[in-house]
Every structure is written in C-alpha cells, then in structure tokens.
Amino acid sequence: MGFLSDFLFGKKDGPFESYYRSGQLKERGTYKDGDEGLCEEYYKNGQLSEKGIYKDGEPHGPFEGYSKNGQLEWRGTYNMGEECGEWIEDGETLTYDPCPPDLEGGN
C-alpha cells in the first residue's frame, strides 16, 4: 500500500490516502489542481489526530486536533500557517489577530 492519487496534467488531483506499515490509515485528503485541500491525519490506533484545510502547503482555514483517545484538544483557524481569530486550547480561549473576512470559519 502507499500513497494513492490521481493526476491531471502533471498535477495531483483527486483523493489520496497513505497508510502505516500495519495497514492502518495514516492520512486521507484531497488534491485539486496540485493544491491540497481537506486533510485528515490519524494515530496508529485509528483515532483522528488532526483535520483541516491546506492551501499552498500551509494550514489555511478551520483546524481541529484530537488526543489519542478521541477528545478534542484544540480548535482554531489558520491564515496561511498563522493562527487567527479565537482558538480553544486545553479548555482556554486564546485570541489572535482577526482572520480575513473571506476565510472560511474565520472569526
């Protein structure tokens, strides 16, 4: 098993998945015209680790992170790799510079 993806005109396009050697799902996401969109990462135990949107290789949009037992640990929005708006981390609210108004999930 390994990295699976469709290609369009030399650019990655479509769904992809990667796996641990054990066969357990490690990562799943989607490319469109060579740019990664929604991506989910998993722990070796099968629990979701992180999910969010990437643009030009950077976190860009709503993101969430989970513990190995599935509990939400943090949630927030990225603007090209930088935290923006309100974030929840370990039960506390942190406030960063406002997100651009057109950023999905921005606040």
Q: Is the pLDDT of residue 105 over 70?
A: no
Cα–Cα distance, 13 to 5 (Å, whole number): 7
> What is the structure's pLDDT at 11?
65
Residue 14: per-residue pLDDT: 82
Instruction: Pick 13 or 81 by higher pLDDT.
Output: 81
Tell me yes or no: is domain 7-95 CATH 3.40.50.10170: no
pLDDT at 93 over 90: yes
Nearest to 13 by CA among 29, 28, 32: 32
Angle at 27 between CA 24 and CA 28, to 5 degrees: 110
pLDDT reading at 92 higher than 90: yes
For residue 62, count other CB atoms closer than 10 A to its CB: 20
- With 0-12 CB in 10 A as exposed, 13-18 as middle and 19+ as buried, what is 96? middle
The owner of tokens 């643009």 is 55
Nearest to 39 by CA among 23, 63, 22: 63
pLDDT in tens, 22-75: 999 999 998 776 667 889 999 999 999 999 998 888 999 999 999 999 999 999
**pLDDT for the residue 6:** 43
Amino acid occupying residue 4 = L
Higher pLDDT, 103 or 9: 103
Average pLDDT over residues 5-18: 66
